[in-house]
Amino acid sequence: MIESFMKDELRDYLARIPSLEYDLLIDSWSRPLPEGFRVNTLKLPEEYILERLRKKNILFRKIPWARYGYILEEEFELSTTIEHMLGLIYLQGPVSMASVEALDPRPGEIILDMCAAPGSKSTQISQILQGRGVLIANDPVIDRCKALSSNLQRLGVYNVVVTTLDGRVFPKIAREFFDRVLVDAPCSSLGIVSKDWSVVKNWSIHNVIRLSRLQFQLLRAAFDCLKLGGTLVYSTCTLTVEENELVVHKLLRSRSNAYIEEIKLNGLRYEEGLTEWNNMKLSDELSKSLRIYPYHNNAEGFYIVKIRKGG
Amino acid sequence: MKILNDSEKKILQELLYQQHGVKEAFEEFILVMGGDSKIRATTLETIEVARKLRKVLQIGLYVAKYRRNKNDVFLSIEGSQLLNNQITKNVVELSEEECREWMRGAPIHLSINTDSRYIVGKIDKIYLGSARVSRDGKLYPQIAVWRRIPEE
């Protein structure tokens, strides 16, 4: 069914990605994504909140790669529960939680979430900071910042500054300032097609190239405002090489002190990042990045890479 | 946005002491007041980082609304949750059903004997912010529209 929406251009493109199993991808796009949620320990202990959910006969299981992360085992309208409205839980895709786990924030650090709205990953970072250190939740689109602010409020985050800067200007005002930076970049969203089939209908390589330019500028800015020894995570919810490995490859070529680090996340299935594309040899380091297809974990598709800034 | 100085903070703390029995409320936080009379709580380090940045939309967490001209204060959901069991006065325990009504922003009729203009709701360990006490004895929860549970 979904294939009828697809242009030949996209079908041909996907067929060229060596690690991708096309039929499995189409099948996973046709099924709804599982509902994931995080328990917000900034407000109350994890077990107390889980017990409230159990009393409502809500069935869920632990996500092995995300602290405080769970997946619903049966459909339930969590978004209208008291627990959701009070900020005791936050609805978030299970693989989306992996970016922040890869970032591995530590209490006391100064952390920038460069493309923060609507706030899923910002609230996750805040939870791990436990009120110590500072989170800068940035998004250039003011309308999107309303949702971001509401979510930060609902989850009870007080050590946060919300800014509306173009991410690319951060090095001008905060060069080598942050301990960690998350760049969850705007992308062509091929990893979350199940949510919105128009993604495949509107897909074009022209748009991918346009996004790729912006993504590189954001990643380079993120790297430049990291402290020496700091780390960043670059992630997208898409599958194209131009928006993922090629963006990182370009950074590695332009910044000699950028090193890719291994990511270890318990139970998360993925393929290694590509080290060759269109007969072009890419950095071998890219094999340490994670290419997560929707069928790997029956959830969203993502690309995640962790980069350290050497001294 | 303006950082409350010590004497301004003391006035707010005194009001919260009289109203809810909280001693030195939000003492460990820096309090910032917005043009909308909203008090936001944050840390000194957060303020220092914000000073370095540009296009700052917001700092910290909305904890209370303080209307100087009426000399009254009420707590947001998160404000009451930060203070939690320090709140000893004018706090009412709700049932699950009353809690749902509260979170719908619907008026609740409870027979409460209080002179206070605001009381805080709670269910078990969860604090729900303030409700205004009307003359007819109803409680009007001060829940922002975006946080209300929709009608079933």
Interface residue B41 vs chain A (CB under 8 A): yes
Residue B152 confidence (pLDDT) above 80? no
CATH architecture of A2-33+95-309: 3-Layer(aba) Sandwich (3.40)
Q: Is A237 a catalytic residue?
A: yes
Alpha helices in A130-189 (DSSP H): 142-154, 170-174
User: pLDDT tens-digit profile of B126-143?
Assistant: 999 999 999 888 999 999
Give the residue extent of every domain in chain A.
Answer: 2-33+95-309, 35-92
CATH class belonging to A35-92: alpha beta
Separation of CA A163 from chain center: 19
The SS3 call for residue A20 is: coil
Structural domain includes residue B117: yes
Please state the rounded mean pLDDT for residues B108-136.
Answer: 91
- Are the beta carbons of B126 and A134 separated by less than 8 Å? no
ipTM metric: 0.97
Confidence (pLDDT) at B62: 98
The one-letter amino acid code at A216 reads F
Mean pLDDT, 10 residues at a time, chain A of 311 residues: 86 96 95 95 98 97 98 95 97 98 98 98 98 98 96 98 98 98 98 92 96 98 98 98 98 98 98 97 98 97 98 80
Q: What is the pTM of this model?
A: 0.97
B91-93 β-sheet, strand order = B91-93, B118-123, B126-133, B138-141, B108-109
Radius of gyration of chain A (CA): 19
pLDDT for A23 equals: 95
When pLDDT is averaged across residues B47-62 and rounded to a whole number, the result is 97
Q: How many CA atoms lie within 13 A of A10 on its CB side?
A: 23
**A261 vs B110, residue with greater confidence:** A261
Is B131 among the domain residues? yes
The confidence band for B70, taking pLDDT boundaries of 50, 70 and 90, is confident
CA distance A90 to chain B (A): 13
Phi, psi of A63 (to 5 degrees): -90, 120
What token pair was written down for A125?
A: 């970072």
pLDDT of residue B112: 79
On whether the CB atoms of residues A134 and A160 are closer than 8 A, the answer is yes
Question: Is B152 within a domain?
Answer: no
Number of domains in chain B: 1
Cβ-in-10-Å burial (0-12, 13-18, 19+) of A256 comes to: exposed
AA identity, residue A48: Y
For residue A172, the model assigns a pLDDT of 97
State residue A4's pLDDT score: 83
Question: Which of A154, A161, A164 is opposite residue B59, by nearest beta carbon?
Answer: A161
Which of the 8 DSSP states describes residue A255? -
Q: What local confidence, expressed as pLDDT, does residue B7 receive?
A: 95
Query: Residue A67: its pLDDT value, please?
Result: 97
CA–chain centroid gap for A309, Å, is 20
Output Rg (C-alpha) for chain B, integer angstroms. 16
Share of chain B above pLDDT 70, in %: 99
Range(s) of the domain holding residue B69: 2-147
B77–chain A Cβ distance below 8 A for any pair: yes
pLDDT on residue A22:
96
